[in-house]
């Protein structure tokens, strides 16, 4: 794909129209599609609007946060917004994070969401936001504006795939768009087979990993935030050219501690249960622990996932931490 032209096509995934698939993923009324090139799995609603995002104008004072889902997106986004807005905790508490830092694909996630697009942060509305903008897609680089990395600051957060699988499983059960009703073991196989929304996992991360030395790129790991939140806040601040006083650094660290963040109504998405977007059972912020996969995987499933990880990381220098002795 050239830097100027849109050459991505989306093709229907026949399996997603089968009764067995629909029984497990009841929310996909149109099934799912896969991009060519890249193999990105999405809904037809996103596919019909994908070029709008690709053709967005990027500003030099933008900060874009890129993640695969369940890799610390909301957590890091709050950090970025506060760094870009002089650590204004009061203003942050008065406005939902979704309005402060638009999730680019939100209006295009499903036919249901698209019906409410006038109430959501569409691409046209994002264009009108005042600077500095903090923007957060879950899309891989090749589906984003080609000039992104040469124009704006980009923060990419990666998380170990074992914990992502567990977290994404509970995410699929919580959110009605997915309405997943199967087991974790079944979900893990769909994940490894690149048959869940936003798959494939490894190409998403490896594309970003290959760009990690670009001066406008800051590549970080969720596990490092769990291990040393204060230290990672300092690194991100330095990347953005921000200086934090000791008082601000202490306040930011306390604000972003998981137990505090989980209770923060401007970021925890509990309101979505009242809007009907989420099921009552479950929480958007569940545990946030590194190594929680050990509480969910059978030895046999863990062995299969280990083989899958080994195969996908062969001939790369990317490694993941899947357990921590200490975490915030």
Residue 179's CB is within 10 A of a number of other CB atoms, namely 16
Per-residue burial over 244-259, b if 16 or more Cβ lie within 10 Å, else e, is beeebbeebbebbebe
Residue 229 in contact with residue 59, Cβ under 8 Å?
A: no
What are the strands, taking DSSP E only, across 231-320? none
205 is written with which tokens?
């991360």
Of the candidates 278, 322, 73, 312, the residue with the CA atom closest to the CA atom of residue 209: 312
Question: Length of the chain in residues, anyone?
Answer: 328
Residue 327 in contact with residue 287, Cβ under 8 Å?
A: no
Task: Report the alpha-carbon distance of residue 205 to residue 159 in Å, rounded.
Answer: 9
Is 255 part of the annotated catalytic residue set?
Answer: no
Residue 69 in contact with residue 43, Cβ under 8 Å?
A: no
Task: Report the alpha-carbon distance of residue 317 to residue 328 in Å, rounded.
Answer: 27
* Kind and range of the H or E run holding 252: helix 246-256
Considering Cα of 93, then 95, then 101, then 103, what sign does the dihedral take? positive
- Among residues 17, 112, 138, 178, the one annotated as catalytic is 138
Task: Report the alpha-carbon distance of residue 241 to residue 255 in Å, rounded.
Answer: 21
Q: Please give the positions annotated as active site.
A: 138
């Amino acid at each position: 794909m050239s830097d100027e032209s849109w050459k991505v096509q989306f093709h229907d995934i026949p399996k997603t129209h089968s009764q067995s698939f629909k029984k497990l993923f009841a929310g996909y009324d149109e099934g799912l599609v896969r991009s060519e090139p890249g193999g990105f799995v999405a809904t037809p609603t996103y596919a019909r609007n994908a070029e709008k995002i690709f053709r967005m104008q990027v500003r030099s004072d933008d900060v874009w946060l890129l993640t695969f889902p369940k890799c610390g997106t909301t957590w890091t986004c709050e950090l970025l917004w506060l760094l870009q807005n002089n650590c204004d905790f009061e203003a942050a508490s008065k406005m939902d994070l979704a309005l402060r830092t638009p999730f680019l694909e939100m209006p295009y996630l499903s036919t249901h969401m698209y019906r409410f697009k006038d109430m959501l942060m569409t691409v046209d509305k994002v264009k009108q936001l005042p600077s500095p903008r903090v923007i957060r897609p879950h899309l891989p680089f090749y589906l984003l504006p080609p000039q992104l990395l040469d124009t704006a600051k980009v923060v990419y957060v990666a998380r170990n795939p074992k914990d992502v699988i567990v977290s994404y499983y509970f995410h699929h059960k919580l959110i009605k768009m997915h309405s997943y009703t199967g087991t974790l073991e079944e979900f893990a196989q769909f994940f490894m087979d690149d048959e869940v929304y936003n798959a494939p996992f490894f190409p998403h991360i490896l594309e970003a990993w290959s760009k990690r030395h670009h001066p406008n790129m800051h590549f970080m790991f969720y596990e490092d935030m769990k291990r040393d939140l204060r230290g990672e806040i300092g690194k991100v601040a330095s990347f953005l050219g921000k200086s934090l006083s000791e008082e601000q650094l202490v306040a930011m660290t306390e604000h972003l501690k998981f137990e505090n963040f989980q209770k923060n109504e401007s970021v925890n998405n509990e309101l979505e249960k009242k809007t009907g977007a989420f099921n009552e059972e479950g929480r958007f912020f569940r545990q946030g622990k590194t190594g929680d996969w050990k509480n969910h995987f059978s030895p046999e499933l863990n062995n299969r996932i280990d083989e899958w990880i080994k195969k996908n990381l062969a001939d790369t220098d990317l490694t993941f931490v899947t357990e921590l002795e200490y975490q915030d």
